[in-house]
Amino acid sequence: GPVAETFRVIQGAVTEEYVRSTQGVFQFELSGDGGGTWYIDLKSKGGSAGFGKPPVTADVVMSMSSTDFIKTFMFSMSGNSSIKGDMMLTLSLEKML
């Protein structure tokens, strides 16, 4: 589905450089179609993204609908999301995407 596709794109965009410069783990609690728990790990060596809980504790947890997630990451970090955690990490994630 579109959520899985978005995470595939993110996984493909993760580089060692982003991991080194970001050092953050993002967890997404998505509701709706393709929802569930997803993550982007920009802290562990190599980085990763995908379905399920991150391999290490998340620095930022975002809760939103899967539709808003896709819109947010395709266009900008706006939308109906509640962001808890380090805003600087969130901004660096936005730059990566």
Domain range list for the chain: 2-72+85-94
Instruction: Record the pTM.
Output: 0.76
pLDDT tens for the chain, 97 residues long, are 889 988 988 888 888 888 999 999 999 999 999 999 999 999 999 999 999 999 999 999 999 999 988 887 765 433 444 555 565 666 667 666 6
CA distances from 35 to 2, 12, 43, 64, 67 (A): 10, 20, 23, 9, 9
Contact 50, 7 (CB under 8 A): yes
Arch. (CATH architecture) of 2-72+85-94: 2-Layer Sandwich (3.30)
